[in-house]
Structure 1
Amino acid sequence: MTSAATPTRAPVGATPSVRRRLALQRPRPVLVRLYAAVFSELGLLGAPARRRGARFVARSLPAIAAVGLGALVPLRVFEAPLFGWPQISAMAVLAVALGAVVWRRVARTAAGDAATYREQLELGSVFVVAAYVLAQSAAAGHGESAFQAVVYLVMAFLVAFLAPGVGAALVGLAVALELLVWAAHGARGWELPDAIVHSGFVTVFAVLYWGVLAAQVAASRRDERIAIDRRMKEIDQLARSYRLTVAAPDDAQDRDERDRRWLEGAVIEIEAAVGGALEVAEAALRCHTCALFWLSDDEKELVLRDCRSPSEAIAREPFPAGEGALGAAVRQGRAIRIHGEVKGATYYGDGMRPRALLAVPLLEPRGGFVRGVVVVDRLEAVPFCDDDERLLARLAAEILRAIDAERLIKDVKQGRAETDRFYRSIERLNRTQKPADVFDALFEVAREMVPVDFAAIVLREENDETRVRVVRVFGGEHGKGALEGHAFTVDSGLVGSAIRMDMILPVAAPDPAKTPVFGDVSLKGLTSLKILPLRVGERPVGALVLGAERRNAYAPEPVRQLNVVAMHAAQSLERAHLFDKTERLATTDGLTGLVNHRTFQERLDGHLAQAQRYGKKMSLILCDIDHFKSVNDTYGHPVGDQVLRGVAKTLGKDARTTDVVARYGGEEFAIVMPETDTGGAMVIAERIRERIGKLVFETEQGPLRVTMSLGVATFPEDGTKKAELVERADGCLYHAKRHGRNQSVSAASLRAPRRAAG
C-alpha cells in the first residue's frame, strides 16, 4: 500500500486552515472517487470540475435520497409484499445516505466541529422517510400498518437527541407526509380522521417525549445544584470547625470568591489527611471501627467526621460529648483504654458493645484544648497495648498538624492577597484626577477590605475650618437623603471628634443608633462603626465613616491598612482639588469668573458643529458696556473692575444653564445660546439690557449707572460658519453703538430694511 493511502491526521490544537489543508491530503471517499471516475469516463467535465461535481453529489446524496423517496411515500409505491424490490431498493439508498451523513459527522467531530442544523435535518429526514417506507411496506393496502408505531418511536428518538428547532421541522415533515398520503389516495372524507389521528400521535409522541426529557434534565440539574449547595454548607461548617475561618452569622456572605476556593481546597486536603490516618490505624491496629469525632464549637456535642467500619450503626447525628468513653477522653484530655464488655461505646446506634476500645483526644499544641477524639475498637477480646496507644496518639497529632498546616497556608495566602489588594488600592487612588473619582475609588477599596453597609465622606468647609460637610454617602437605607450635604461643627459628634483629635474612633464599640455621629445625627440599623480621619500632612481635612450591620466587623489589621489608604485618599483629594483649580484658571477669566476667550472659541465650535449635524438653531450675542473708557478715566480702574464683575454676575443670572457666557475681551462679553432662534435670543438680550440699566454701583464720586449695547446673529440664517456668525453679531453691535447705544440689534432686523428698499 502506498503512503498516499495513509490518512493525514490534524495535530491537537491545529487551526481550521491547517485542518482544511490536511483534509485535502486525505483519501477521497469511495462515493467521491466513484462519481469522479464516472464523470471522467463520460468526458463531461474537466478534472477540477469533475472533482467539485463529485463532492457536490456526495454532499447532496442524503438530501436527494430523503426528498426523492419521501416524494414516493404519498404515491404508496412501497405498498407491496414485504421485502419486495421497491422496499429493498429504498432501504439500500437510505442506508447509503445514512452512511454518508454519519461519515461526514465523524469527520467533522474529529476536526472539533459541532453538528450543524443542516446535518441534523438531513439525518432526521432520512430516519423519518425510512420509518414511513417500513410502515407503508407492511400495510399493503390493508388499512393500519403493523409498523406504524415505528414512526412514533423514531420521532420520539429524534426529538430527544436533535436540536428543538430541527425536531419541530421533522414533526412538520411527518405531518405533511400523512396529509400527502391521504390526498394522493383520493382525499376521501372517511380516511381523513385516520390521517389526523396519525399526525396527532406523531405530534403527541414528540411533545411528550421532549417534555419528559426536559423535566428529567431540569430535575437532574436541580439535584446537582442541591448537592453542590449541601457540599458547600458542609465545607463551610468544616472550615469553622477546623478554625480555618472565623465563625460568622448564618446570613454572612463571602466577599471574595477566592477565599471560598481556598476554604474548599483546605477542607479537601484535611479530609484526605484524616482519611489516610484512619486507613493507617485500621490496617495497623486490626480494629473493627476506626472513627474521628470532632467537638462542636460550644463543646457540648461530638460530630462524626470520618470513619472506617463495616457497621452501618455508627452515629451520623451529633451526640452529647460528656457520655461514655469518648466523653471521658474529652473531659480528662488523655487516652482511654477499655477491654472486656465495653458499655461506653455511645457512638453505636444499635447498642453494640465491642470487647476492646481505645480513644485518644486531639489536643491543640498551644493551650492543650481538646478538638476531637479518635477512637478504635475490636469485637474480639484482644485489648489494646501501649504501642497501639502511642501509634493512635501519633496519628491524632498528624491530623492536627495537617489542620494547622492548612490554616497556616490559608493565612499566608490571605495575607498576601490582602497586601496585593492594598497596593492595588493605593495605585488606583493615585490615578484619580477628580474628587468624585476619589470618592468612588475609596468606597470600592473599603468594600474590598472590610464589610461595608454604610459609608460616608466628610470634608472641612473651604471658608470655615470649624465646620465640616457630608459630601458623599453610600448606603441609602441608612439615611443617604438626609445626610448628604449635612453640615455641622467639629465640636459635635464622633466624626467631629475624630477630625479634631486626628485619631481613629470609636475606640470601643458604641451603639451607632444612640451615639451622635454626624453632629447630633445618629445612624440606625448598624452595630459596627469606624471613623478614619483624612489628613494631608499633619492637617486633618475630613473623615471616612464606615458602618456595618454585623457586630465586631472591623478587625485591627484591616483598619490599620484602611488608615493608610485614607491618608493616600486625602492626598488624592488634595491633588484633585488642585487639578480642578488649575482647570478653572485655564478656562475661566480671573476677574469675572466667566469663561475666557479661548474656551469660548472652543465651546462655540462645539455648539456650532452640533447645530449643523442635527439641523438646530443657534444664536450668538455680542455685548459691550457703553462708554466704559470714560468710567475708567473718571472713576478709576478699581471701579471699572467692579462694574465688570457686576455686569458679569447679571449676565450669568439672566442666561440659561445651557448657554455659554464668556468675557470676550476688555468690556466686551459674548453669549452662545444653543437651540435658540433670533426671537428667543432677542428676548434674552433685551432682558439683560434692562437689568444692566438698573444696576447701581456705589463709588466715592457717587452712584454710577451704565448701559449696554447688544448684537444678535443666528445660525443658519445669518451665517453657517463661525467667522460669519461672529462678523454678523459684531456688525449688529456696532450698528447699535452708532445709532444711540443702549439697544439690542439683530441681523434679521438689519436685513428687513434692505428687503423693503429693494
Structure 2
Amino acid sequence: MSEPLPALPPVRAPVGATPTVRRRLALQRSRPLLIRAYALLLGDAGLAGPIARRRAARFVLRSLPALVTVAVGALVALRGFESAAGWGQVAAMAVLAVALGALVWRRVARAAAGEQAGYREQLELGSLFVVAAYAVAQSASFGHAESAFQPVVYLVMAFLVAFLAPGVGAGLVALAVTLEALLWAGRGARVAELPEAVVHAGFVTVFAVLYYAVLAGQVAASRRDERLAIERRMKEIDHLARAFRLSVAAPDDAQDPAERERRWSEGAVIEIEAAVGGALEVAVAALRCHTCALFWLSEDEKTLTLLDCRSPSEAVGREPLPAGEGPLGGAVRRRSPVRLHGEVKAVSYYADGTRPKALLAAPLVDPRGGHVRGVVLVDRMEPTPFTEAEEKLLVTLAAEILRAVGAERLMKDVRQTRAEVDRFYRSIERLNRTRKLSEVYDALVGVASEMVTVDFAAVALRDEVDPSRVRVVRVAGGEGDRTGAAGLDDLEFAMGDGCLVSSAIKIDDVLPVNALDPAKTRVFGAVCLRGLASLKIFPLKVGERSIGALVLGAKRAGAYGRDAVQQLLVISMHAAQSIDRARLFDQTERLATTDGLTGLTNHRTFQERLDAHLGQAQRYGKRTSLLLCDIDHFKSVNDTYGHPVGDQVLRGVARTLARAARGTDVVARYGGEEFAIVMPETDTGGAMVIAERIREKVGQLVFETEQGPLKVTLSLGVATFPDDGAQKPALIERADACLYHAKRHGRNQSVSAASLRAPRRAAV
C-alpha cells in the first residue's frame, strides 16, 4: 500500500487578484482532488480512504433521524416498550432523546441565523416526536391495551400540526395511523381490538384536523382584525389630516395622486401626534394634574372630539361633546382660557360623572384668522386651584401645539406647491415637444387628465380656410352614448350658433362662469352632454387669434377649482401655440411634397414613393403598375383660352385623377400637363380599368370660359413591374412609350405595354 499524500494547505486568491491569477489558484486547488480521484480509479485505499470515510460519516449523520425513527417505530410496533424497563428500552429512549436534542439544537441554531426549516427537517423532527410520544405512552401501559399516557399522542400531534407545514402535518398523521395499525397487528390482529385501534387512529386524525381548523380560523380572524385595525387607523389619519387642515375636501384635491397625498398626510399626522403627546407630557409633569386632554373642534364648530389624553382614569369619553356647553364650550366661545375650582359641576368629558375639584381649559386660537381649532384641558381631583402662572404655561403649550400643526400644514403646502409646479412645467415641456397635430391633441388631453378629473374631453378648432366654421378634431371619454358624445368626431358647426364652445372662442374666456347643467345646454352646436356635473371650456388663443377651444367634463360636481382653472388656462395657451406650430409644420411639409398648382404629389416625392413601392413589390413578389397621362392639345388650350384657363384645366383634371384613384395609389403631377399614378399590387388588367375610368371622367368635364365651354381629353400609357421593366428607368420608359403611342395614333385612348407586345408575338 502506498503512503498517503500529505494534506495541502488551502490556497486562496488574494483580494483584487486578476482573473488569470484566480484561474491558476483554482487549478492548484483542484490538483489534490484530481490525485485522489486518480487514486480511487487505481484502487489506492490510502488516498481514497479519508474521502470515503468522510462521505460515509456525512451519510450516517444525515440518515440518523430516519434510522432512529424507523428503529423506535419498529420497537413500538413490536410492543417493545410494554415490558418492564430494561437496558434495551433505556438505550432506545436515550438514543431517541439524543436524536431529538440534536435536531432541536440544530433548528434553534438555524433559526437564530435566519434560516427557514425545510420540509425534510420538519418531517424528521415531527417523526421523532411522534414515535417518542408512542414510546412514552406504551411504556406507561404496563401491559394493558389502553395507556394512561395515550392523550400525550393527541397533544403532540396537535402541537406538530400547529407549527409545521400542512403537508408535513398530513404526513405525520399518516405515520401515526400506520403505527396504530401495526400495533393492532402486533397484538394478533384480533377483530375485537379493531374498534379500539380505529378509535385511536380517529382521535389522532380528528385532533389534528380540528386543531388545524381552529388555528386557521384564529389566523384568519387575527388577519381580519389586523386589517380592520389598519383601516381604522387610516380613517383616523384621514380624519386628523382634515381636522388639522392638512387636507381638505376641496375640488383641487383630485389634482394630486392619491398615494402621494396619503403619504404626506400620514407623515404629517404622525409628526403632529408626537408634538401633541410631548406637550401633554410636559403639562402633566409641570401642572401636576389628574387629566390632561386635547379636544379638537369640528369643521362646523358644533362638536369637540378627544384627540389625545393623559389620565389614570378610564372614564374619559371618546364621544364628541357639544362645543357650546360646559367649560370647554366657554373656552371656545370666549376664545380665552377658563379657570374653575371648587365643585365643578358642568363637566361632560367623564363618562362616569366624575367631578374634578379644579379645571383649566385653554383654547387653540389660530393667529392667522382668529379661528378656534380646539381646547387643551387639565384638571385636578384635589381642591388646589390652578394659578395664573400655570394658566400662562398651558396657553403657551396650546400655542406650541397649534404651531406644530401649522408647521406641518406649511410643509405640506410647500410640497404640494412644488409638485404642482414640477407637473406644470413638465406639461408645458410635453406640449413643446410635439410636432404633429395628432400628437398635440393627445398631449393636451393627457396633460389635462393628469391635472384634474377628466371624464370627457374634446378639442374643437376653427377651420383654417373658413374661420366661421368650427370642427371637433379630438374626443376622449364619454364612451357609448351615455354622455351624448357619440358622433362628435369631425362634427362641424357655425361660430355664430350661440353654443358654449363657439361663445368661449368668440369672447376668448373660460365658460361657463357659473355652474350649469350640460344636459340642458348646447355645448357643440345643437349637441348637449349628459351625465356630467362639471364642465369647463378653455379658449385656445395664439396672439390675438382664437383658434379653438378645449372642453373638459367630469361626473363629480365642483371638479374644477379656481387654481386648476388658472393653470389649465395657461396650458391651453401653450397648447394653442403648439397647434399653430404643428399646422405650420404640416403646411411646410405639404409644400415640400405637393405641387402648388394642383395639390398633387410633386415630381420629387413621386420618384421617392415609386422607389419605395417598387422595392416592396420586388421584396414580396407583387406587381406594381405605372400610369402616365397627358392632356391632349394642351398647348392650343393655353394659346386659345389663355394660361389662367389652362391652370383651371390642370386643377380640374388633377381633382378628377385624385377622386378616380384608389386610396393606396400615388397621384402626382409629372411635369407640365403630364400626370402620373403609381398603383401598388395592381397588374396590367386592373391598371387599364382605372385608366379607362379616368379617361372617361376627364372627357365628361366641362370648363366654362369667356369663349364658351371647353372640353379636353387624355391619352394614357400603362406599364407594369416586373413584366414591362425590372428597374424604375425601364418601367418609366415603357409607360412613356405607351403614352406617345396613344398620342400618335389618335389620342384620347389608353395603351398598355402588354398590348404593344402582343402583335410582335403573333408575328413571331
Task: Specify the TM-score bucket, using the shorter chain as the normaliser.
Answer: 0.7 to 0.9
Q: Matches of 2:732 and 2:169 in 1, distance apart?
A: 69
Paired residues of 1:87 and 1:134 also in contact (CA < 8 A): no
Paired residues of 2:462 and 2:471 also in contact (CA < 8 A): yes
Matched, 1:239 2:246: no
Shift of 1:94: 10
1:84-95 paired onto structure 2 within 5 Å:
none
Alignment match, 1:376: 378
Alignment match, 2:570: 564
CA distance 1:620–1:39, shift in 2 (3 Å): closer
Matched, 1:680 2:686: yes
Shift of 1:723: 5.4
Q: Matches of 1:77 and 1:38 in 2, distance apart?
A: 42
Shift of 1:734: 5.2
Name the stretch that deviates more: 682-691 or 60-69.
60-69
Number of aligned residues:
711
Alignment match, 1:296: 298
- 1:435-466 deviation per Cα after TM superposition (whole angstroms, max 9, x unaligned): 22222222232333344444333322222333
Name the stretch that deviates more: 687-696 or 283-292.
687-696
- 1:260-300 deviation per Cα after TM superposition (whole angstroms, max 9, x unaligned): 32222222221111111111111111111111111111111
Alignment match, 2:720: 713
Amino acid in the other structure paired with 2:299: D
Which of these residues, 661, 669, 689, is aligned with residue 676 of structure 2?
A: 669
1:389-428 paired onto structure 2 within 5 Å:
389-428=391-430
Alignment match, 2:647: 641
Q: Matches of 2:628 and 2:204 in 1, distance apart?
A: 85
1:542-557 paired onto structure 2 within 5 Å:
542-557=548-563
- 1:611-664 deviation per Cα after TM superposition (whole angstroms, max 9, x unaligned): 555x46342232212535544564444444333322222222122223332333
1:56-67 paired onto structure 2 within 5 Å:
none
In percent, how many aligned pairs have the same letter?
58
Paired residues of 2:688 and 2:752 also in contact (CA < 8 A): yes
CA distance 1:221–1:724, shift in 2 (3 Å): farther
Paired residues of 1:289 and 1:377 also in contact (CA < 8 A): yes
1:213-252 paired onto structure 2 within 5 Å:
222-248=224-250
Alignment match, 1:464: 466
Q: Matches of 2:445 and 2:420 in 1, distance apart?
A: 16
Amino acid in the other structure paired with 2:262: R
Q: Matches of 2:223 and 2:646 in 1, distance apart?
A: 81
- 1:348-396 deviation per Cα after TM superposition (whole angstroms, max 9, x unaligned): 1111122222122222223432221111112222222212211111111
Q: Matches of 2:730 and 2:352 in 1, distance apart?
A: 103
Q: Matches of 1:104 and 1:619 in 2, distance apart?
A: 80
Which of these residues, 624, 627, 633, is aligned with residue 632 of structure 2?
A: 627
Alignment match, 2:592: 586
Q: Matches of 1:132 and 1:751 in 2, distance apart?
A: 100
- 1:83-117 deviation per Cα after TM superposition (whole angstroms, max 9, x unaligned): 89999999999999999x9899999x89xxx99xx
Amino acid in the other structure paired with 1:310: P
CA distance 1:718–1:84, shift in 2 (3 Å): farther
Supply the RMSD in Å over aligned alpha carbons.
5.7
Q: Matches of 2:444 and 2:54 in 1, distance apart?
A: 65
CA distance 1:500–1:200, shift in 2 (3 Å): farther
Paired residues of 2:65 and 2:99 also in contact (CA < 8 A): no
Paired residues of 1:155 and 1:205 also in contact (CA < 8 A): no
Paired residues of 1:686 and 1:744 also in contact (CA < 8 A): yes
1:244-643 paired onto structure 2 within 5 Å:
244-248=246-250, 255-476=257-478, 477-491=482-496, 492-519=498-525, 521-611=527-617, 615=620, 617-625=622-630, 627-628=632-633, 630-631=635-636, 634-635=639-640, 636-643=642-649
Paired residues of 1:467 and 1:488 also in contact (CA < 8 A): yes
CA distance 1:647–1:365, shift in 2 (3 Å): same
SS in 2 for 1:341: coil
Q: Matches of 2:56 and 2:716 in 1, distance apart?
A: 88
Paired residues of 1:315 and 1:348 also in contact (CA < 8 A): yes
Shift of 1:398: 1.1
Shift of 1:500: 2.5
Q: Matches of 1:478 and 1:537 in 2, distance apart?
A: 33
- 1:201-246 deviation per Cα after TM superposition (whole angstroms, max 9, x unaligned): 9999999999888877666555444433332322222222222233
Q: Matches of 1:255 and 1:691 in 2, distance apart?
A: 61
Q: Matches of 2:385 and 2:295 in 1, distance apart?
A: 21
Alignment match, 1:164: none
SS in 1 for 2:570: helix
Q: Matches of 1:329 and 1:244 in 2, distance apart?
A: 24
Shift of 1:576: 0.4
Paired residues of 1:512 and 1:524 also in contact (CA < 8 A): yes
Alignment match, 1:163: none
Paired residues of 1:692 and 1:708 also in contact (CA < 8 A): no
Alignment match, 2:3: none
Which of these residues, 632, 651, 657, is aligned with residue 657 of structure 2?
A: 651
Structure 1 gap segments, 5+ residues each: 161-166, 191-195
SS in 2 for 1:713: strand
User: Which of the pair has more CA radius of gyration?
Assistant: 2
1:90-101 paired onto structure 2 within 5 Å:
none
Paired residues of 1:62 and 1:97 also in contact (CA < 8 A): no
Structure 2 gap segments, 5+ residues each: 1-7, 82-87, 139-144, 186-190, 192-197
CA distance 1:343–1:617, shift in 2 (3 Å): same
Paired residues of 2:512 and 2:537 also in contact (CA < 8 A): yes
Q: Matches of 2:740 and 2:168 in 1, distance apart?
A: 80
SS in 1 for 2:406: helix
CA distance 1:489–1:213, shift in 2 (3 Å): farther
Amino acid in the other structure paired with 2:473: V
